[in-house]
Amino acid sequence: MATFDESEITDLAEILGTDSNHLSVHLDYYALLITDSDKTAVLSRVTDYQAVEDNDVDIYAKEKNFGAQISSDKKRSLIRARIVSLLHAEDFVSASGSRLVRA
């Protein structure tokens, strides 16, 4: 059973786009499912998320590589998705990640 302190909850709430109180209730509810190794992984991802630069990273194609372009937003999105999975917090992303589609 992993528990998070106040500053960790604040960092996570900022990444997940929610408030600390809502996230705290969620973490209390899922405390039995979130292991200490999950918590370690989550805190590592928080550090990775905070370390992402705001500029894009470009790797240009050479003879045998096809190159890639990974934006800082894409990196953050991938890290956020992993945090969501480890915290069983899919409900935090579904509301903010949905789009209105017109018929």
- pLDDT at position 33 is 94
Q: Please, are residues 77 and 62 in contact by the beta-carbon 8 Å criterion?
A: no
pLDDT given at position 71? 74
The mean-pLDDT minimum among 17-21, 52-56, 86-90 falls in 52-56
Is 30 a member of any domain? yes
Q: Where are the alpha helices (DSSP H) in the chain?
A: 6-16, 20-29, 36-51, 72-86, 90-97
Q: How many domains does the chain have?
A: 1
**Residue 86 is assigned to a structural domain of this protein:** yes
pLDDT score of 102: 52
- Asked if residue 103 belongs to a domain, the reply is no
Residue range(s) defining the domain that contains residue 35 = 6-97
Res 63: pLDDT: 61
Average pLDDT, the chain: 82
